[in-house]
Structure 1
């Protein structure tokens, strides 16, 4: 039974209610089918590789049958529809054989003239069980628990049901049950007493499906309970008119009964009075459906859960929303100035006589309860010690903590509280601004500004709340302007808010002040980084960076390799304002950018070019910022860096980024090193050519003129490259005779200076010129040699271009012969490949 219980909550619920428990499917492994979105099958918790779209359709059709056999003909229809192959049965059998190797033979047994899929559970079944249990809890007048159960049910959806099948009979019942779950969740929230907060969701629900009368009933009831009787009656008129106009019917009995009770002001429409919870926020709660569901799941198995996240992210509000249905002991630790005073604060919240941990544990004994320790970060050691002792001595106690760093207690489970997603952040802003601007509705321009404002504030609820409060006296565009280059002066939090700090700046300062001197110094110099940074940006100081991540002032994205780190924008603004050496921080950032470019620039033409381009693309915001700093502070250095990125600008198609920057550095550093100026000119010519500017040779010849005396070895390399650029340019213009000489010049220069890695491209430019000039066979022979040299040098791009140019030369040897080559057969065709 314990093994069954571990497979999923619905199985455990069956056991709890005395219902028969489904036996394991018999294949020796636990298989979970997921159909509420793209089809997945988990084998022992690991997603299985189901193959391409056709075998996925087969699996989806079998899952839709819910364990019943499906004939081969039906499977073929599900997979191909009217486009079945000549022998669909053989193809179905081949897919089944392949899937058996992945899922196990016992999971896909033969059944009559078809097959069935034996899984231990499905997300659809778990969803249905969650909905059923939520409705039971609602009927038992346990609305807070019902809300969490409906949240868990709806969080299982990842997209459309049975999305891998074009059509299926199973989709309609699941979609209907999903709509029911959404309605019942709103009903449960209404039953908790959150009538004002639920109105917005119900308005959206009736707009989405205006003929579902249950949604109108809930909306009307919510308006009435929120003291908006006139609006409730208006909503009744709206639905009556809608049903009459669209369907020619009257409202159903439930709506008609509700109308009569509203007009009679029936007291039974109001919730019965009950004791108020210890903490009840006054404003509407947005988003966090996934986090609430995850929190509910964690606290079923773990006795200590800590919500961790940056200041102002909404950890306290999330904890309070979770605990609202119960009666937790809420301890506000932001008011505790000394760790030694922590037991006294907990004892006071619990009503325990004696300000010691021992007195609390003795008073609690075996009693069940939830202790909510809010804002532990400044007394984290004391909070950890108290939690550990109480959990050890009081088996019925659970602890929910909020902190900017973990308590690091054995058995602790962490739930990160990230900033709000864009849609929820915008919804919160809109709601709060409506509160200070009655009747306001954003127009199209204001909606766009709201989105930018939410992004600029990183989706941090505290920052959004404070910005909305300022909207009473400032326009949205003015609010957005406040966030540029300085910490936002958004004013104090409103009275009655749960935030432990009076201002946004105080919230950030609270986090920074808890850091050690070394970690704080590192944080203060990270603000110039744009778009994040890797570990190398902090000189591989993993310990300090780990401390910043642990204390929620730096966010870590470990889903990418290498891991990436970033400061929230409000933290960046605070650090920029409080950095004791901002010019030094900018210089360190620019030096890191220079080092990055110097390292990767030589690799942009070799076998690791793709990797270097990916790295530089990821750091493009930092490249822009670093080069712009040097453009102001040390133009000659900016000239070198921008020119070294020549092939990055070109291969990435970054004309809009690279060309203006190259123009700026050339103008700012007229006395820069000849090699650097020449490279920048050649880079500009590449980008001008890519944009279709036939004047690209102006920059090309300007660069070659700078290098006429070959001032150094690096300059000789640039000159050799510039020569084959010149050759390819004239070939692609159709002036092949003019292209031969610079190609020879490039090859001779490469050999003379011992840089033979240039030869494949230079030889390719000669082959293109010869073939275009009418020497087809000689041109193809030279191109073949260039291709072989490129392969040997692992220059895959050049090798591919040689093959393309050889093929074009062969085509020109057909009808029309060499004359067609002179007509420009090569013109522009290979421009994105090698020039």
Structure 2
């Protein structure tokens, strides 16, 4: 890897002589073709990256006139009959539609005499129009079906975008919610299934979609209001209330928006208007939300002015007033259900409690899901304690029920049914059929099928009954709403201590009255909460241990957490005696294939992908079932899935990881499987680091960096030769992302350990060490590496991989010599690299050599020729898909422009051209995720700003560059070889100090914005 200095001064003839002695001339014999897997400079084919999902090849739109596009081109569907035929098949969602059903959809009451024959003609015509996708329209029984993927239909895309927007809104991400909901509404180009006739089925589907559209409109307006754009939201809400005057949520949002615009009188006028409208036209009063909002407006409640969360965008979530807390509204004590609340305080679940309250007000079957010890039962009990209930609530503990057929009897016992002689299910229905109440079924994971069947039966037969279940997995019942109970956060959104620490401190205070945490104890507590994943049960057990140990000692011994944490205290709601038993309750009943996979996942650090899980799956299990096993583990709350990233990221809680490691019958084989996957990943990414896919490769490495570190650490202990190969292949990653100190440490450790490594692997590692040395060492160290390590290890350079490494050595050396001023040595080394690149067909070596030779022309006093050569090299690099050489060429070009500006009055005005080149260079390096060279660009830009008469910005930027360079581990003095003019003389001492202080506070985005002006 070359030094960052592109133009500098000073000779170093010792290194030049060493390489000249072993240099190859252009006429050297050519080697065999380089295999793609062995050389980091091979050009790779590009592939699409980025985005939440890729546009499907076939797109079908029925939210408006029926339209189809194939590969981005519109498909001519013909007349209304063809459009109705396709729309009716899409409405069936992949299910077959009989010939008679299609005839009715296409012609209605005016079907032709030979309608089925005519239908077949239209089907054939439609297949021809679909072209390559004709196979999607297939005959099925006595009808047809259209098996287009769901994501290709705009109704599905609309639903997904709507769900995404609502999730963002629930997570307080108002701007993201607004974008998602705007995208959702953009799918609509008219009425749903506009081409279909008004049959009962079409009207029902159209009505359902229309209601979702109206909901999306309201969610969009709520998101705009939550994002703080009250004036625009008010304008849109006024139109929305005119369009649907009986939808009370729109009126409530309008009132809230007007109030936030400082229009309190208008808000009250709207409330009076909607009250009169509902009374005159429907004879009803406003609903509870509008009534409550009116009280808040009249009281000028300050919370109305703070659109800080998505909940604020919905009036029903505004704070309760003193009137709402009157005795007549307080809940009935839970004690009458037969189960008292725990004596310990309930902390950290206010949001979940509010969400559960809202959901159960509208839904009749809700399941709380989450991992062991997360507090599902406690949340259900606290909800029930705050719920008025004439008969219940009834809590049924199913943890001790082992047989499915006993579930109904356990429920009967819990609600107080005595002397049940016949079928307990019939007895339950007889008692609950006409009574309101809440039935809580706790710990259902081992009885899912039986509980699901009974829940369906009870909800169907008892219309006033609501059922709340707790389980590690959903019941998978139609109409069931699942609410995930997540571990408590260690840190709050604002960076302060989160609910996990609050719970831990509260529980410690119960065993150590009067205790107040010191600063050191707070830090130890954060470590404990992080290691225990914020799981309430684990935190309570840790707190109990503070009677014997300090928090620092607990944090230190959590490697053996199951022995350390001990047993659960009496009176706890959990039925498990220890944390170990709680985890075992989730893991041990798993199917054999799922459990075998789970026990292979503990070595992963920072999560893993489906591909990674497949790679470590134990022998003897079908690879095709990896996804099925992961799906099962996620549904059982043993593994978590983050679907907001691509590819989906799966994770184990640290406590489950520790349990799996302890229970793994073959831990050494498991670690070796993980390390093998890491080696394969490094091999794949290393080939891409120098080519068109460098950016995606670096992003992959960054995502998997914790796993790479774990795999390298394993190999350093057990297979040091493989560790040496990996750290050498990752040379450009260490440098580009600023991990130079880590890279050097790992290289030195691997070189010491891998005494039996091949010459090629040792040469690659030494070459990587040399390139890192350019950033953190001096020329003497670089010369030593070349003389004593790299050239001897490369041997006779007969193999293509050795020749490639030899060519890269010359590129690195050429750039180094260019930076220190040995122009002849730089030109010779670059020419040798061009010859090797030509032999191997390696674009990276060839283009890199040409750009360096163009830079040497500038140093020889031929700036016009050199700049033309740099422009040509940049164009060749871009044509080959190589962003890094293009960025380097544009950086060198900018420096040449600045030198000419500084040296000659005739060249004044080249600063603007230099800044343009620097912007392009920054874009190239940003595409490649190259943080180090982006620093080099910004360092040069500081001089450009000074020459552009922007001294304050120049000093700010230079100070910011120095700050970020130190953070990345790059020696700042290596970035200062181009420093024109001397920035220290541009401002007064006070002005310069102010600018430097401002610069150290600048973010990366702030720095980039300075050169965009």
Q: TM-score, normalized by length of structure 2? A: 0.58
Per the alignment, residue 451 of structure 2 pairs with 383
Q: Relative to structure 1, is the Cα distance of residues 37 and 580 closer, same or farther in structure 2, using a 3 angstrom cutoff?
A: closer
In structure 1, the residue matched to 2:376 is 315
User: Which stretches in structure 2 are left out of the alignment for 5+ residues?
Assistant: 1-161, 186-213, 243-248, 260-267, 269-287, 297-301, 491-497, 615-623, 908-913, 919-931, 938-973, 976-1013
Bigger drift between 718-727 and 350-359 goes to: 350-359
CA displacement 1:401-454 (0-9 Å, x = unmatched): 000011112211111111111211100000000111111100000011111111
* 1:476 maps onto 2:551 in alignment: yes
**Is 1:325 aligned to residue 456 of structure 2?**
no
Q: Is the 8 A contact 2:437 2:465 kept in 1?
A: yes
Cα 1:555–1:829, aligned 2, differ >3 Å: closer, same or farther?
closer
Q: Root-mean-square deviation (CA), in Å?
A: 4.3
* Residues 1:750 and 2:920 are matched in the alignment: no
Equivalences for 1:792-807 in 2 at 5 Å?
792-807=879-894
Q: 2:708 aligns with which of 623, 644, 665?
A: 623
Deviation at 1:386, TM superposition (A): 1.5
Once residues 428 and 438 of structure 2 are traced to their aligned partners in structure 1, the CA distance between those partners, rounded to angstroms, is 13
Give unpaired runs (5+ residues) of structure 1: 1-28, 68-102, 110-117, 133-144, 165-170, 195-272
SS where residue 647 of structure 2 aligns? Answer: coil
Q: 1:513-662 maps to which residues of 2 (within 5 A)?
A: 513-539=588-614, 541-662=626-747
Please report how far the alpha carbon of residue 368 of structure 1 lies from its aligned counterpart in structure 2 after TM superposition. 1.0
Confirm or deny that 1:399 pairs with 2:467: yes
Deviation string 1:152-171 (CA, Å, 9 cap, x unpaired) is: x9xxx99982579xxxxxx9
Q: Does 1:348 align with 2:423?
A: no
Q: C-alpha displacement at 1:645, in angstroms? A: 1.0
Matched residue of 2:482: which SS? strand
Q: Which whole-Å deviations, capped at 9, do the CAs of 1:62-101 have from their partners, x for residues lacking one?
A: 55xx67xxxxxxxxxxxxxxxxxxxxxxxxxxxxxxxxxx
1:684 equivalent in structure 2: 769
Distance in 1, matches of 2:239 and 2:698, equals 47
Q: How does 1:82-121 map to 2 (within 5 A)?
A: 106=239, 120-121=251-252
Q: Distance in 1 between matches of 2:836 and 2:237?
A: 64
Closer, same or farther: CA 45–373 of 1 in aligned 2, 3 Å: same
Answering whether residue 147 of structure 2 is matched by residue 60 of structure 1, we say: no
* Deviation at residue 287 of structure 1 after TM alignment: 1.4
Work out the CA distance in 1 between the residues paired with 2:688 and 2:933. Answer: 26
Indicate how the Cα distance of structure 1 residues 529 and 344 shifts in structure 2: closer, same or farther if over 3 A, else same: same
8 Å Cα contact 1:519-1:545 kept in structure 2: yes
Distance 1:800 1:446, change over 3 A: same
The answer for the alignment partner of 1:339 in structure 2 is 404
Number of the residue aligned with 1:669: 754
1:703 matched to 2:768? The reply is no
Work out whether residues 303 and 318 of structure 2, in 8 Å CA contact, stay in contact via their aligned partners in 1. no
After TM superposition, the structure 1 stretch with the greater mean CA deviation from structure 2, 288-297 or 177-186, is 177-186
The answer (yes or no) to whether the contact 1:627–1:638 under 8 Å persists in 2 is yes
Cα distance change on mapping 1:178 and 1:524 into 2, 3 Å:
closer
- Tell me, yes or no, if structure 1 residue 509 matches structure 2 residue 584: yes
Instruction: Tell me how far apart the structure 1 counterparts of residues 405 and 514 of structure 2 sit (CA, whole Å).
Output: 50
**2:954 aligned with 1:809:** no
Residue 291 (structure 1) aligned to one of 324, 347, 352: 352
Structure 1 residue 325: deviation in Å? 2.6
Q: Report what 2:431 is aligned to.
A: 363
Going from structure 1 to structure 2, the CA distance change for 1:511 and 1:158 (only over 3 Å counts) comes to farther
**SS of residue matched to 1:746:** helix
* Cα deviation, residue 489, structure 1: 3.0
TM-aligned CA deviation for residue 390 of structure 1: 1.2
* CA 564–815 in structure 1, closer or farther in 2 if over 3 Å, else same: closer
Deviation larger for 722-731 or 783-792: 783-792
Q: Closer, same or farther in 2 for the Cα pair 1:61/1:126, shift >3 Å?
A: closer
Higher relative contact order (CA 8 A, sep 6+): 2
Structure 2 counterpart SS, 1:122 = helix
Contact 1:674 1:715 in 2 (8 A): no
Partner Cα separation in structure 2 for residue 559 and residue 119 of structure 1: 30
Instruction: Work out the CA distance in 2 between the residues paired with 1:769 and 1:275.
Output: 89
Q: How far off its partner does 1:708 sit?
A: 4.2
Contact map agreement 1:304 1:399 (CA 8 A) in 2: yes
Following superposition, the deviation at residue 362 of structure 1 comes to 1.5
Shift of 1:779: 2.4
Any conservation in 1 of the 2:712–2:726 contact (CA below 8 Å)?
Answer: yes
Equivalent-residue separation in structure 1 for 2:561 and 2:662 (angstroms) = 7
Alpha carbons of 1:418 and 1:108: their partners in 2 closer, same or farther (altered >3 Å)? closer
SS at match of 1:320: helix
Q: Distance in 2 between matches of 1:631 and 1:282?
A: 52
Distance in structure 2 (CA, Å) of the matches to 1:780 and 1:34 = 52
Distance apart, 1:274 and its partner CA: 7.9
C-alpha spacing 1:707/1:773, structure 2 compared with 1 (3 Å)? farther
What is the SS of the residue equivalent to 1:575?
A: helix
- Give yes or no for contact 2:562–2:579 (8 Å, CA) kept in 1: no
Question: What is the rounded CA distance, in whole Å, between the counterparts of 2:338 and 2:720 in structure 1?
Answer: 64
Does the 8 A contact of 1:690 with 1:832 survive in 2?
no
- Alignment deviations for residues 675-709 of structure 1 (CA, whole Å, 9 cap, x no partner): 22122122222223233655344435532442142
Structure 1 residue 671 displacement after superposition: 3.0
C-alpha distance in 2 between matches for 1:337 and 1:126: 55
Instruction: Tell me whether 1:302 sits opposite 2:370 in the alignment.
Output: no
Q: CA deviation at 1:469?
A: 0.7
The reply to whether residue 716 of structure 1 matches residue 847 of structure 2 is: no
Q: Tell me, yes or no, if the aligned pair for 2:256 and 2:304 is still in contact at 8 Å.
A: no
Contact map agreement 2:237 2:254 (CA 8 A) in 1: no
**CA distance 1:411–1:777, change in 2 (3 Å):** same
User: Among 338, 341, 344, which residue is 1:280 paired with?
Assistant: 341
Counterpart-to-counterpart distance in 2, 1:364 and 1:721: 80
SS at match of 1:484: helix
Given the superposition, is the C-alpha separation of residues 457 and 158 from structure 1 closer, same or farther in structure 2, using an over 3 Å criterion?
A: farther
- Paired residues of 2:736 and 2:933 also in contact (CA < 8 A): no
Residue of structure 1 in register with 2:569 after alignment? 494
Alpha carbons 1:674, 1:711 under 8 Å: kept: no
**Contact kept? 1:732, 1:831, Cα under 8 Å:** no
Give the secondary-structure state (helix, strand or coil) at the position aligned to 2:565. Answer: coil
SS of corresponding position for 2:463: coil
Cα distance change on mapping 1:59 and 1:676 into 2, 3 Å: same
Alpha-carbon spacing, 1:363–1:185, altered in 2? closer, same or farther (3 Å): closer
1: CA distance between counterparts of 2:836 and 2:173? 60
Task: Specify the alignment match of 1:464 in structure 2.
Answer: 539
Measure the CA separation in 1 of the matches of 2:867 and 2:219: 45
> What is the Cα deviation at residue 193 of structure 1?
10
Are 2:503 and 1:428 aligned? Answer: yes
State the secondary structure of the residue aligned to 1:500.
coil
Q: Report the equivalent of 1:18.
A: none
